[in-house]
C-alpha cells in the first residue's frame, strides 16, 4: 500500500505508520538507490530508503556541512 509510505505528520499515530514503512524498507533490495534518488530529487515528504522526513533533513544538513568543510 503506497499510502503506508506517506503518513500525515510525524507524531501520534503517524509514528507507527512511519515505523511500519521503515520495516518494509529494511527488507528492500533497492533501499540505498531509493534513498539516493529521494535526496537528489528533493523529496520532502514520506519515507524513502528507510528514512523519514526528519532523518533525511538531518542527513542533508550533515552532508552539506561535510561538503563545506572539504572545500575549506
- pLDDT < 50 regions, the chain: none
Cα separation, 66 vs 69, in Å, equals: 5
Report the predicted TM-score, pTM, of the whole model to 2 decimal places: 0.84
Burial of 32 by CB count in 10 Å (0-12 exposed, 13-18 middle, 19+ buried)?
Answer: exposed
C-alpha cell at 68: 563545506
Amino acid at each position: 500500500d503506497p499510502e503506508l509510505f506517506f503518513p500525515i505528520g510525524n507524531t501520534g499515530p503517524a509514528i507507527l505508520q512511519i515505523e511500519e514503512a521503515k520495516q518494509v524498507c529494511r527488507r528492500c533490495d533497492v533501499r540505498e538507490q531509493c534513498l539516493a534518488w529521494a535526496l537528489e530529487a528533493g523529496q520532502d515528504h514520506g519515507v524513502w530508503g528507510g528514512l523519514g522526513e526528519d532523518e533525511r533533513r538531518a542527513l542533508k544538513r550533515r552532508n552539506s556541512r561535510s561538503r563545506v568543510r572539504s572545500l575549506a
